[in-house]
Structure 1
Amino acid sequence: MWTKLFELKNTIWALIIPTYLMNGFNILLVKSYFEKNVPKDLIEAAQMDGANEFTIFFKVMMPMATPVIATVGMFTGLAYWNDWINGLYYINDPALYGVQQLLIRILDNIQFLKSGTAAALIGNVVIDLPSASIRMALAVIGILPILIIFPLLQKYFIRGIVIGAVKG
């Protein structure tokens, strides 16, 4: 209903807005990170040096926030990557389908070909379709980008864990 109201159907914003506006966990995570890991003295020193709020945020706080930004980015990325239901609800254009939607569509097409009228029309070729191995191949395709991206972001997670352990 809100996608019609704001004309977001078949746009990327229909997938982005619910995650950012309706996800309190990420907001609490970032808030608690800034409260515990950014000293107030550092902000006061920047103000005494003549920095305005914009400069303090982008030149002082944001460089210190790379662990929490990487964490929230990874959580959000994994949520989008594994989510095919929201795409099913909000996206009708096949050109905008996500990877998970495409993988589900491939599996559905294989199941359709193996059942009923389609199998009778095509004949013995469909009976030999290896559905289990296709599912496993699609699972590998689905997880491969995550396996590539996670090691690149892992140093930020470790830095965040070390900061939390030291500050305790």
Structure 2
Amino acid sequence: VPSYIMWTQNFHIKNTIWALIVPNLLMGAFYVIMMRTYLTGNIPEEVIDAARIDGSGEGGILLRIVVPMAKPILSTLALLVGLGYWNDWLNGLYYINKDTLYSIQVLLNRMLLDTQFLMSSASQGMNIDTSQLPSTGIKMAIAVMGILPILAVYPFLQKYLVQGITIGAVKG
């Protein structure tokens, strides 16, 4: 409740595209731990010191040395964060009331809840034509449409994902 009040009354993001993006913005302890572990374990301090001796500033070190060496963890985190946003339906449920801004997950969830309500109403004796309700095949088709973008992107990031997770994992 406090986060809803903060985002809607202070930042006025209700019924905007920012309501789907900003409330869960990229930060999570898991992502920070993965990134820190990868950077401390796989980027040698000697390379950074050599760049400083050569006269590179902090921005140059970051852009020319750290980012190219951190491609596996950056692509891993990009895939995980993107997947989290793609599958998120709570932000759409909480912050969006317009029919034009629904994500496919919110649409699928709303369709399932509406179908369950109408089926329970029909079983209680209300006069509802259940032949017009979406069938299981339609629901599954929407679910498949929801997974297609992830299936299209995953093969290109798979090699980085496996490398980033295995190297960035906390070692015991």
Which band: TM-score by shorter chain? 0.7 to 0.9
Q: What TM-score does the superposition give when structure 1 sets the normalisation length?
A: 0.80
1:143 corresponding residue in structure 2:
147
Distance in 1 between residues matched to 2:31 and 2:53, nearest whole Å: 31
The 10-residue stretch of structure 1 (86-95 or 37-46) with the greater mean CA deviation from structure 2: 86-95
Quote the RMSD (CA, aligned, Å). 2.8
- Distance of 2:31 and 2:24 partners within structure 1: 10
Does residue 127 in structure 1 map to residue 131 in structure 2?
A: yes
1:34 deviates by 0.7
1:7 aligned partner: 12
- Partner secondary structure for residue 104 of structure 1: helix
Give the structure 1 partner of residue 102 of structure 2: 97
Identify the range of structure 1 (141-150 vs 35-44) with the bigger mean alpha-carbon deviation: 141-150
Greater percentage in helix: 1
User: Quick one: structure 1 residues 158 and 9, their matched pair in 2 at CA, closer, same or farther if it must change by over 3 Å?
Assistant: same
Q: Which residue of 1 aligns with 2:66?
A: 61
- Report which structure shows greater RCO (CA 8 Å, sep ≥6): 2
Aligned ranges for residues 75-90 of structure 1 at < 5 Å?
A: 75-90=80-95
**The 10-residue stretch of structure 1 (136-145 or 52-61) with the greater mean CA deviation from structure 2:** 136-145
Matched residue type, 2:131 = I
- CA spacing shift, 1:9–1:128, aligned 2, 3 Å: closer
Q: Which runs of structure 2 are paired with 1:14-25 in the superposition (5 Å)?
A: 14-20=19-25, 22-25=27-30
Task: Tell me the TM-score normalized by structure 2.
Answer: 0.78
Q: Spell out structure 1 runs of 4+ moving beyond 6 A.
A: none
Residue 159 (structure 2) pairs with residue 155 (structure 1): yes
Quote the Cα distance in structure 1 between the aligned partners of 2:132 and 2:12. 45
Q: Which of 38, 45, 49 does residue 40 from structure 1 map onto?
A: 45
Partner of 2:32: 27
Unpaired runs of at least 5, structure 2 = none
Q: Is the partner of 2:25 in helix, strand or coil? A: helix
Percent identity, aligned pairs only, is 49
CA distance in 1, matches of 2:134, 2:15: 33
Instruction: Output one character per residue of 1:109-134: Cα deviation in whole Å (capped at 9) or x when no partner.
Output: 55566655xx847x5xx426562222
- Quick one: structure 1 residues 15 and 48, their matched pair in 2 at CA, closer, same or farther if it must change by over 3 Å? same
